[in-house]
A and B are shown apart, each in its own frame.
Chain A
Amino acid sequence: MNPAGPYFIGFLLAVVLAYYLVPNRFRNHVISMASVGLLAWIDLWFAGAFLVVTLMNFSAAIWIDSKHQLKQRHQALLLSLLGNIALLVAIKHSNIFHRIGDLFSNWLGSPNPIPALNWILPLGFSYYMFQALGYQFEVYRKSHPAEKSLINFIAFLGFFPKIFAGPLERSTGFLPALKTPRVLEYDNFSHGFRLILWGVFKFIVISNWIGSIIETSYIPDSETSGLYMMLSMVLYTLQVYTEFSGYTDIALGSGRLFGFQLTQNFRQPFLAKSLSDFWRRWHISLSTWVMDYIYTPLSLWISLRISPRKWGIMASIFISFLLLGIWHGSSWNFVIFGMIQGSILAIEIISLRSRKKHLSNPLGRIAGHISTMAIFVVSAQFFKTNNYHETLNWFRKALDFSNSNSSLTFEYNQWPTYHLIAILIFFVFDQFVVRNNIEKWLDKRNAVLRWLFYSLLIYAIIAGTESSVQPLIYQGF
Chain B
Amino acid sequence: MRVLQRISLKLIVLLGVLFLMNWAYSEWQYPEDLEKYTPMHSELESAQLADIIYLGDCSDVYCGSACDSDTSVSAFLKILMNDQKIAALSANGYQPSSYLTLIKALDSKVGEDKTIILTLNHRAFADHILLDWYYKPIIEQQLSLVQTRIPLLNRAMLTFYDPSSKRESLTLAKTEQWENTSIEINGKTKTIAMLMEKAAGDSVATSYLEDFAFVMGEAQREQLALFNDIIHEVKSRGWKMVIHYVPINLDGLSHEKHSWLKDHALEQRQILLQHFKAMDVQVLDHSTLLSQDDFLGIKSNSHYTANGKRKLALGLSTALKVPVE
Question: Does B bind A?
Answer: yes
A-to-B contact residues, CB < 8 Å: 2, 5-6, 184-186, 189-190, 204, 451, 454-455, 458-459, 461-463, 465-469
- B29–A186 CB distance below 8 A: no
Within the complex, the shortest CB–CB distance from B277 to chain A, in Å, comes to: 43
* Structural contact, B17 and A454, CB atoms closer than 8 A: yes
Contact of B160 among A6, A454, A458 (CB under 8 A): A6
Contact of B21 among A6, A189, A455 (CB under 8 A): A455
Contact (A468, B160) CB under 8 Å given A451-B13, A463-B29 = yes
Q: How many Å lie between the Cα of A6 and that of B159 in the bound state?
A: 10
Complex partner residue of B6 from A186, A204, A468, CB under 8 angstroms: A186
CB-based contact A469/B21 at 8 Å: no
What residues on B are CB-neighbors of A458 within 8 Å?
Answer: 17-18, 21
Min CB–CB distance B169 → chain A (angstroms) = 12
Closest 6 CB pairs of A and B: A469-B162, A186-B3, A462-B156, A463-B155, A468-B160, A186-B6
Proximity string of chain B (19-33) to chain A, C-beta cutoff 8 Å, 1 when within and 0 when not: 011001100010001
Contacts of A184 in B (CB 8 A): 3-4
20 CB < 8 A contacts A-B: A2-B162, A5-B160, A6-B156, A184-B3, A184-B4, A185-B3, A186-B3, A186-B6, A455-B20, A458-B17, A458-B21, A459-B24, A462-B152, A462-B155, A463-B25, A463-B33, A463-B159, A465-B159, A466-B36, A467-B159
B82 interfacial by beta-carbon distance below 8 Å: no
How far is B10's CA from A451's CA once the two chains are assembled, in angstroms?
10
Asked if B7 is at the interface (CB within 8 A of a chain A CB), the reply is yes
CA distance A465 to B165 in the complex (A): 19
Given A463-B152, A469-B162, 12 more pairs with CB closer than 8 A: A5-B160, A6-B160, A185-B3, A186-B2, A189-B7, A451-B17, A454-B17, A459-B24, A459-B25, A462-B155, A463-B159, A465-B159
Q: What residues on B are CB-neighbors of A462 within 8 Å? A: 21, 25, 152, 155-156, 159
Closest to B156 in A: A462
Main secondary structure of the interface of B (DSSP, over half): helix
B37 within 8 A of A: yes
Inter-subunit contact A466/B160 (CB<8 Å): no
Expressed in whole angstroms, the minimum distance between the Cβ of B143 and any Cβ of chain A is 14
B158: Cβ under 8 A from any A Cβ = yes
Q: CA A277 – CA B20 in complex, angstroms?
A: 45
Give CA–CA (A6, B162) in the complex, Å: 11
**Is B164 at the interface (CB under 8 A from chain A)?**
yes
B161 interface residue (CB < 8 Å to A) = yes
Residues of chain A within 8 A (CB-CB) of B161 are: 467, 469
Contact partners of B162 in chain A: CB under 8 A: 2, 5, 468-469
Report the separation of the CA atoms of residues A462 and B152 in the bound assembly, to the nearest whole angstrom: 8
Q: Which B residues lie within 8 Å of A469 (CB)?
A: 161-165
For chain B, residues 155 to 195, give those with C-beta under 8 angstroms from any C-beta of chain A: 155-156, 158-165
Q: Which of B2, B4, B33, B156 has the most CB of A within 10 A?
A: B156
On chain B, the number of residues with a Cβ less than 8 Å from chain A's Cβ atoms is: 28
Q: In the complex, A205→B36 CA distance in Å? A: 18
CB distance from B96 to the nearest CB of A (A): 25
* Chain B 26-66: CB-based contact to A (< 8 A → 1; otherwise 0): 00010001001100000000000000000000000000000
Smallest CB separation, B160 vs chain A (Å): 5
B36 vs chain A, min Cβ distance (A)? 8
Instruction: List chain A residues, Cβ under 8 A from B155.
Output: 462-463
Query: Judging by beta carbons under 8 Å apart, are B159 and A468 in contact?
Result: yes
Q: Do A459 and B164 touch across chains, with their CB atoms under 8 A apart?
A: no
Residues of A within 8 A of B160 (CB): 5-6, 468
- The CA of A181 and the CA of B24, in the complex, are separated in Å by 44
Task: Name the B residues within 8 Å of A468 (CB-CB).
Answer: 159-160, 162
Find out whether the CB atom of A186 lies under 8 angstroms from the CB atom of B17.
no
Bound complex: CA A44 to CA B162 (Å): 22
Distance A184 CA – B165 CA, assembled complex (angstroms): 37
Residues facing A in B77-105 (CB within 8 A) are none
Docked pose: A465 CA to B37 CA in angstroms:
11
Residue of A nearest to B158 (CB): A466
Query: Which residue in chain A gives the minimum CB-CB distance to B2?
Result: A186
Given contacts A5-B160, A465-B159, contact A459 B13 (CB under 8 A): no
* Docked complex Cα distance between A459 and B29 (Å): 11
B:213-230 near A, CB below 8 Å: none
Q: How far is the CA of A5 from the CA of B156 in the complex (A)?
A: 11
B1 to chain A, nearest CB (A): 10
* Shortest distance between the CB of B154 and any CB in chain A (Å): 10
Q: Quote the shortest CB–CB distance from A468 to chain B (angstroms).
A: 5
Output the least CB separation between B165 and chain A (Å).
8
Nearest Cβ on chain A to B222's Cβ, whole angstroms: 24
Identify the interface centre among A2, A185, A189, A466: most chain B CB within 10 Å of its CB: A466
Bound-state CA distance A186–B10 (Å) is: 11
* Structural contact, B7 and A186, CB atoms closer than 8 A: yes
* Chain B residue with the shortest CB-CB distance to A7: B160
B29's nearest neighbour on chain A, judged by CB, is A463
User: Which residue on A lies nearest to B159, using beta carbons?
Assistant: A468
Q: Which residues of A contact B13 (CB under 8 A)?
A: 451
Most buried by B among A2, A189, A459: A459
Residues of B within 8 A of A454 (CB): 17
Complex Cα–Cα for A124 and B20 (A): 40
A422 → B minimal CB distance (Å): 15
Q: How far is B158's CA from A468's CA once the two chains are assembled, in angstroms? A: 9
Contacts of B165 in A (CB 8 A): 469
| B78 smallest CB distance to A (angstroms) | 33
CB-CB under 8 A from B18, the residues of chain A are 458
Chain A residues whose C-beta falls within 8 Å of the C-beta of B2 in the assembled complex: 186
**C-alpha spacing A455/B14, complex, angstroms:** 9
